[in-house]
Amino acid sequence: MAGSLTTLSVKDALGTTRLMRVWDESGAGTGPFSFVPVNSSGGSGSGGLPDISKAEDAASASGDLGLVGLAIQKNTPADTAGTDGDYAPLQIKDGRLYVQATIKDISNGEYETVAASQTAQALGATGATGDYISGVLVVPATTSPGNVVLLDGATSITVFTGGATSVSNLVPFFIPLGMISVSGAWKITTGAAVSCIGIGNFT
C-alpha cells in the first residue's frame, strides 16, 4: 500500500504534547513513521506549535513570536543570485545593512547669465528635466525694470513682476527657489533693463 500523510499527537523530550505531521509509510496507520513538526494555529496550549505567520495589517501583541532573519557578512557586496527574480539573502558589513541610493548633487556650483530682454533662455548647455535651480540673482539696471519669468519647460512662473519704481535702488537681490524641473529645461525670460544669474545644477 502506498504511504500517506497523517497527524499524530506526541510528547517531546520535555513532556509537552505536540502535533506532528507524519508520513506513514504503510498508509494504514501502522508505520514506520517519519516526523515533521506542524506549524499550527492552535498554539502550544492546545498541543500545536505557535503560529508565527501574521495576517496583513494585523496588530502586533506583546510576546509575538517570529524567526530571526539572517544576512550574509560581505566586505564587498555582489550578486548572489544568478538570475533576475531569484531569491537572495541580505548582505551586511560591520553590522550595517548594505543599501544602494542615488543621490543627486544639488549643490549651488553652476551659474548661467541671462541678459536683459531675453526670451526663454535655457539654463545650461541644453537643460533637461531633473535640473536643479537654487535661485535667481536679479540685477536691475533702473528702478523701473522689466519682469523676470522662470519657465519649467512650458510652465511659466513669474519670480519678479518689475514695473514702475518696483525697486528703490540698483542693488542686485537674490530670489531663493530650491526646485527641480519636472517638465524640461529651466529657462528665464527677462524684460527690459533687468538681467539675471541663474544658480543651480544644469544639464
The model's pLDDT over 149-195, given as tens digits with 9 standing for 90+, comes to 999 988 999 999 999 999 999 999 999 999 999 999 999 999 999 99
Residue positions counted in the chain? 203
> What pLDDT score does 47 carry?
39
Q: Are 20 and 8 in contact (CB under 8 A)?
A: yes
Looking at the chain, list the stretches that DSSP marks H as alpha helix, in order from N- to C-terminal side: none
Domain boundaries, the chain: 4-46, 110-201
Does position 103 have pLDDT exceeding 80, yes or no? no
Grid coordinates representing 39 are 506549524
The model's pLDDT over 61-99, given as tens digits with 9 standing for 90+, comes to 887 777 778 899 998 888 888 888 898 899 999 889 988
> For all residues of the chain together, what is the average pLDDT?
85
> What pLDDT score does 175 carry?
97
Grid coordinates representing 69 are 532573519
Question: Which of 1-10, 12-21, 65-74, 113-122 is the most confident on average?
Answer: 113-122
Q: Say if strands 186-190 and 148-152 run parallel, antiparallel, or are unpaired.
A: antiparallel
Q: Are 20 and 39 in contact (CB under 8 A)?
A: no
What fold characterizes domain 110-201? Jelly Rolls (2.60.120)
pLDDT band at residue 49 using 50, 70 and 90 as cut-offs? very low
Radius of gyration of the chain (CA): 35
Main-chain phi, psi angles of 45, to 5 degrees = -70, -25
